[in-house]
Structure 1
Amino acid sequence: MTTTTATPRPPALDAERADLLAALATARASLTATARGLGDEQAGARPTVSALCLGGLIKHVASVEEAWTAFMTEGPSAMRHDLPDGVTWADLAAGTAREIPRWAVDHRNGFRMLPGDTLDGILARYAKAAARTEEVVASVPDLSATRPLPEAPWHEPGAVRSVRGVLAHLISETAQHAGHADILRETLDGQTST
């Protein structure tokens, strides 16, 4: 006799969580549709005066989603942006820092397809990030729960963000980059994602 073990079902989502995750999924689908049918070389091409490429945009959005999902569970320590001793934010912005922090290099490289990057690998990473976000959102007890944002010049001092606010930010950022990606794809080969 063979026995099977049922896979546990995720908890049912309330309407607000379902709506927020559906909006994020729609924005993700718009972004990834821009890469449909492309090879690695095309995904890494920079067809405009911008340094952006399709593969890099998707890679960046996956990284951003991973970071914000970690923020929902771990708080500001998941998104620290420490500076080396003697380096200021002004030095970093002006390009005069004697040492560039690892996170800044990773951020810059997050917009590029580097040697060894493949479009399939980037899309798989993004799918994994999406699944993790959905898992965390389903398990967080309160969408209104806030955490302090890490210290950085792009965050107001003392600012906090709720889980709901994180989701709204992810939807906005993903949709914005989907628009960028549409322009890149149309410039590459005349195709659009719609």
Structure 2
Amino acid sequence: MTTTPDERTDLLETLAKHRDFLRFTTRDLTDEQAGKQTTVSALCLGGLIKHVTSVERGWANFIVEGPSAMGDFDSMTEADFARRADEFRMLPGDTLAGVLDAYAEVARRTDELVRTLPDLSAAHPLPKAPWFEPGAQWSARRVLLHIIAETSQHAGHADIIRESLDGAKTMG
């Protein structure tokens, strides 16, 4: 008799696969290489992982706390936007090992949340922001799908950056 994985297992396995793709792009790199911009964009490998870590942390907090966890986008200051921009780059004092450790810690927390959440259908209204449909609500399930999509998209960006850096590829 075969066992069919449940929805939580499917979500966690899919998220783990895309996290692994993203982390794999940093294999054998120095801190300097992790911060190098190799394309016309400002993106670097360490910065992408910092960003995905922040996004996953924020959305996991949303699942637990609701829209207040996301902050008030209408009242963001220039300093708030500058801090968000810093998510995309390696700053003085950042190390690749530290960035990867922070990502692993957020991943552990998210995974535990997925395993223990009473109901993946539980929903919260999205915070007011120009990029969200007014009055929309997202379930925990929808948030997890968004985290998977975000991770996957940035793993693809990371693969391009890594190939531009030294020719190494995640796949192929």
Q: Same fold (TM over 0.5)?
A: yes
1:161 aligned counterpart, secondary structure = strand
| Counterparts of 1:139 and 1:115, CA distance in 2 | 37
| 1:189 maps onto 2:160 in alignment | no
| 1:46 maps onto 2:23 in alignment | no
| Counterparts of 1:168 and 1:65, CA distance in 2 | 11
Q: Provide Cα deviations, 1:27-86, integer angstroms capped at 9, x if missing partner.
A: 0000000000001000000011110000000010000000000001011010013444xx
Report what 1:91 is aligned to.
Answer: none
| Counterparts of 1:42 and 1:118, CA distance in 2 | 11
Contact 1:82 1:101 in 2 (8 A): no
Q: Provide Cα deviations, 1:85-140, integer angstroms capped at 9, x if missing partner.
A: xx8xxxxxxxxxxx5152x2221110010111100000000000000001111111
1:12-161 mapped onto 2 (5 Å cutoff): 15-84=6-75, 99-102=77-80, 104-161=81-138
| Counterparts of 1:157 and 1:83, CA distance in 2 | 13
- Unpaired runs of at least 5, structure 2: none
Kindly indicate which of the two structures has a greater share of residues assigned to helix.
Answer: 2
Counterpart amino acid of 1:31?
Answer: L
1:144 aligned counterpart, secondary structure = coil
Report what 1:6 is aligned to.
Answer: none
| Counterparts of 2:134 and 2:84, CA distance in 1 | 22
2:129 aligned counterpart, secondary structure = coil
Contact 2:19 2:151 in 1 (8 A): yes
| Counterparts of 1:151 and 1:164, CA distance in 2 | 20
| Counterparts of 1:149 and 1:42, CA distance in 2 | 37
1:157-172 mapped onto 2 (5 Å cutoff): 157-172=134-149
TM, length-normalised to structure 1: 0.83
How many aligned residue pairs are there?
Answer: 167
Report what 1:180 is aligned to.
Answer: 157
Q: Provide Cα deviations, 1:137-190, integer angstroms capped at 9, x if missing partner.
A: 111111111101111101111111001101110111100000000000000000
TM, length-normalised to structure 2: 0.93
Answer with 1 or 2: which has the greater Rg: 1
Contact 1:34 1:182 in 2 (8 A): yes
